[in-house]
């Protein structure tokens, strides 16, 4: 059974870069599926950030595209998120997730527990 675990700083200063890693166990990223990042500001709804395939192909939310990079490290079986020039609006619980099916990019069947990232000086 696949398990995902987010890690990274819980506090980031405004204008700096938020960096998170999602460690995957129980499944090899190289074997397929799509891997995504979704965030949820406190008390608010979900927002899709972007997806990556094991080949490295990425797709991003157009509202975040200029500030977001998602990368994959198949040797460590993990993928990462970077959001640059953060503001208080980027404060959220960040989830990493795996697509529900190998061929479907838009439904997420396995999720990490989420990690709260606060942006504050």
Contact between 5 and 22 under an 8 Å Cβ cutoff? The reply is yes
Q: How many helices (H) and strands (E) does the chain have?
A: 0, 11
For residues 24 to 53, the per-residue mask of contacts with other proteins, x marking binding by CB under 8 A and - elsewhere, is ------------x-x------xxxx--x--
Contact between 103 and 42 under an 8 Å Cβ cutoff? The reply is no
Of the candidates 61, 74, 77, 84, which one interacts with other proteins according to CB under 8 A? 61
Q: Which is nearer to other proteins, 55 or 113 (CB)?
A: 113
What span, in angstroms and rounded, lies between the C-alpha atoms of 34 and 108? 9
Q: Which is nearer to other proteins, 33 or 108 (CB)?
A: 108
Of the candidates 3, 5, 19, 59, which one interacts with other proteins according to CB under 8 A? 59
């Amino acid at each position: 059974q696949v398990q995902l675990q987010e890690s990274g700083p819980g506090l980031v200063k405004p204008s700096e870069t938020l960096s998170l890693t999602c460690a995957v166990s129980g499944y090899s990223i190289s074997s397929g599926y799509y891997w995504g990042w979704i965030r949820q500001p406190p008390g608010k709804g979900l927002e899709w950030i972007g997806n990556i395939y094991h080949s490295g192909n990425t797709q991003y939310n157009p509202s975040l595209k200029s500030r977001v990079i998602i990368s994959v490290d198949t040797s460590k079986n993990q993928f990462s998120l970077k959001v640059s020039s953060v503001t208080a609006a980027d404060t959220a619980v960040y989830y990493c997730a795996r697509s529900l099916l190998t061929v479907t990019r838009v439904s997420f069947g396995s999720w990490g527990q989420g990690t709260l990232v606060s942006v504050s000086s």
